[in-house]
């Protein structure tokens, strides 16, 4: 990857920013260049939330995402809003529970991230870690061990098993998606 620009979106409280931080952390461990930032409003919960990560093999000048190469949306509002702004070449990952806008159909892949968090992990708050797993498989940011280390650096003590399980569930889903894309 020369320069990937990732935009992760959803609503406040979904752990979108943490997901972006973990991806950036993995990139650092993998000795890539990275810049992570977010735009946020005054609401701590709810509202639209956007976090960005740039991952590159060469030093990063401008630190904000201008032309996303990858967009993730976990809410309908975010998907509708942000999918309109991206180029046709930008891959979109949407939660499987969302309705894909017509204009984004060709470039969008879906994964049941929120459903898996609730049903397979039993905790909706792990959706962001599942998403990290999916994204890592789709984009090949770091190897699995590195990603585990990155996750462990940023989660509360005592939640290691839960979060690693979430990561692995995400990686599993990501693997399937990647195959589908190749077949396309």
Partner 1 sequence: MGKAVLMQGNEACVEGALAAGMRLFAGYPITPSTEIAENCAVRLPLAGGTFIQMEDEIAGIAAVIGASAAGIKAMTATSGPGFSLKQENIGYACLTEIPCVVVDVQRSGPSTGLPTSPSQGDVMQARWGTHGDHPAIAVSPSSVKETYELIIRCFNLSEKYRTPVIFLMDEMIAHLREAVELPDMDSLEIEDRLTPLTAEKNPFPYLVKEGEWVPRLMPLGMGQHYHITGLIHDDTGFPTNSHEEADKLCRRLLDKIQKNKEDIITYDGYLLEDAEEVVVCYGGTARAALSAVDEARMEGIKAGMFRLITIWPFPEEQIFRLADKTGRILVAEHNDGQILLEVRRSAQGKVPVDFIGKINGDVITPEELLTKIEEEHYAKCADKK
- Where on the chain is the footprint of partner 1 (CB under 8 A)? 21, 24-25, 28, 31, 33-42, 60-64, 66
**Least distance from C-beta 182 to partner 1, angstroms?**
31
Query: Which residue, 1 or 39, is less far from partner 1 as judged by CB?
Result: 39
Query: Which residue, 63 or 124, is less far from partner 1 as judged by CB?
Result: 63
Query: Which residue, 42 or 158, is less far from partner 1 as judged by CB?
Result: 42
Query: Which residue, 60 or 106, is less far from partner 1 as judged by CB?
Result: 60
- Residue of 75, 76, 54, 68 lying closest to 107 (CA atoms): 68
How far is the C-alpha of 26 from the C-alpha of 32, rounded, in Å?
9
The angle that helices 144-153 and 127-139 make with each other, rounded to 10 degrees, is 150
- Residue of 149, 176, 137 lying closest to 25 (CA atoms): 149
**Least distance from C-beta 12 to partner 1, angstroms?**
13
Q: Residue 140's CB: how many other CB atoms inside 10 A? A: 12
**Least distance from C-beta 29 to partner 1, angstroms?**
9
**Least distance from C-beta 99 to partner 1, angstroms?**
30
Q: Residue 59's CB: how many other CB atoms inside 10 A? A: 7
Query: Which residue, 28 or 176, is less far from partner 1 as judged by CB?
Result: 28
**Least distance from C-beta 140 to partner 1, angstroms?**
19
Cβ within 8 Å of residue 118, ≥6 positions away: 124
């Amino acid at each position: 990857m020369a320069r990937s620009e990732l935009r992760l979106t959803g609503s406040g409280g979904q752990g979108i920013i943490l997901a972006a931080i973990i991806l950036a952390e993995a990139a650092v461990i993998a000795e890539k260049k990275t810049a992570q930032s977010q735009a946020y409003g005054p609401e701590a919960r709810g509202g639209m939330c956007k976090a960005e990560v740039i991952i590159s093999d060469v030093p990063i000048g401008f630190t904000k995402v201008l032309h996303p190469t990858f967009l993730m949306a976990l809410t309908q509002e975010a998907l509708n809003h942000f999918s309109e702004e991206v180029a046709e070449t930008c891959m979109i990952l949407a939660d499987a529970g969302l309705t894909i806008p017509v204009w984004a159909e060709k470039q969008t892949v879906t994964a049941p991230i929120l459903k898996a968090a609730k049903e397979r992990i039993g905790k909706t708050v792990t959706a962001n870690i599942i998403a990290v797993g999916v994204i890592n498989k789709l984009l090949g940011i770091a190897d699995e061990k590195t990603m585990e280390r990155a996750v462990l650096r940023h989660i509360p003590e005592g939640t290691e098993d839960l979060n690693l399980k979430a990561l692995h569930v995400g990686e599993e889903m990501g693997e399937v998606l990647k195959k589908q894309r190749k077949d396309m």
